[in-house]
Amino acid sequence: MKRIWIQIDTVILFILLFSLLIISCKRSVREDLILIEQGKKHFFESEYMEALKHFEKSAQINPRNDVAKAYVGFCYYHIDEAGTAILQFNKSLQLNPSNNIALFGKSLVLWEMEDFLSAYILFDSVTKINPNHDKAFYYRSLAELQFGDTLSAQKSLLQAITNAPEYAENYYLQASLYLKNGKAEKADSVLKIAHKCKNELLKSP
């Protein structure tokens, strides 16, 4: 009889411990996601050091959170620490090879390092994973121009404008292509759109 009670006590203890573990995990997951949202508020206000604190804490709470690590990488990218940024982007991609934040961030670092081919491959991957990405098509267009593929660059740029009609950079690049092809009037009309977009951006709070 004693043995039966010992077995029952052991089962109950196991269930209690397992329940506490589940509750603890849920709380941790919730906390790391809340920290990401808090970090994003600072990030999109260009407060990168403050955002970094939240993202790093999120990654510490949940080491398997690939989004937190991707944002950590982007914070380091914006404070000009390219080596650390690449390291964090790679950590994110080890957890999730399709993490578009990390893929795009890593491609930007490679682009600035003038590793244009590697950057292009990643930009292209981003556009395939997310055909509505707001900036990847613009950079893919730049890379295609770098390789002398003007036709593909024009197609990528048109998609960039479709995805993000508010970005002045898209129109400046389009105007330069028109000028290159001797279409000054078209270039001029596109430049007007670019200036308008830029002014709208400056007016926004």
Q: What is the number of other CB atoms lying within 10 angstroms of the CB of residue 89?
A: 29
What's the CA gap between 115 and 201, in Å, rounded?
30
Q: Greater confidence, 4 or 164?
A: 164
CA torsion sign for 80, 144, 159, 98 is negative
pLDDT tens sequence across 89-146: 999 999 999 999 999 999 999 999 999 999 999 999 999 999 999 899 999 999 999 9
pLDDT tens sequence across 159-202: 999 999 999 999 999 999 988 888 888 888 888 888 888 777 66
What is the CA 112 to chain-centroid distance, rounded? 16
- pTM value is 0.80
